[in-house]
């Protein structure tokens, strides 16, 4: 399911040439899912050498990341980062250090406690980004 959604997003964001480059390099839709080298891509897709194909590939990945992080996934990541920062600050204030021995129940309680704050942060972010 994730792969299908990622492929749909790639088709929406990338140009046909960039899409062909990324698919060929990663081996998506290729026999045995074996990708091509930048040398082979430069020859097949008419780039100025392997370095040109590699630069185009990296630019396409940056374009995908920028699009992915600008949407709802980026807002979710921002909310998660804010929650982790607030949790660390609260633990420092109470004199407790964050320990790796946290139990699953403690993590679940923490998630439940911050669920409302996540929703509030996302709403505030959407309001501010819309303004």
Q: Give the pLDDT of residue 91.
A: 73
The span from the CA of 19 to the CA of 7, in Å, is 9
pLDDT at site 86: 81
Exposed / middle / buried, residue 21 (Cβ in 10 Å: 0-12, 13-18, 19+): buried
Query: What does pLDDT average to over the chain?
Result: 78
Per-residue model confidence as pLDDT tens digits over 30-50:
778 888 899 999 999 999 999
pLDDT 10s digits, 46-69: 999 999 999 999 999 999 888 888
pLDDT at 108: 64
pTM (2 decimals)?
A: 0.56
With cut-offs at 50, 70 and 90, classify the pLDDT of residue 18.
very high
């Amino acid at each position: 399911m994730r792969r299908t959604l990622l492929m749909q997003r790639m088709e929406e964001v990338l140009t046909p040439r960039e899409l062909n480059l990324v698919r060929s390099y990663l081996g998506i839709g290729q026999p045995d899912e074996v990708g091509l080298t930048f040398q082979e891509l430069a020859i097949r897709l008419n780039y100025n050498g392997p370095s040109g194909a590699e630069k185009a590939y990296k630019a396409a990945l940056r374009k995908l990341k920028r699009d992915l992080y600008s949407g709802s996934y980026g807002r979710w990541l921002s909310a998660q980062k804010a929650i982790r920062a607030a949790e660390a600050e609260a633990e420092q204030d109470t004199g407790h250090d964050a320990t790796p021995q946290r139990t699953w129940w403690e993590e679940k309680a923490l998630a439940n406690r911050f669920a409302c704050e996540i929703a509030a942060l996302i709403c505030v972010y959407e309001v501010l980004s819309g303004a």
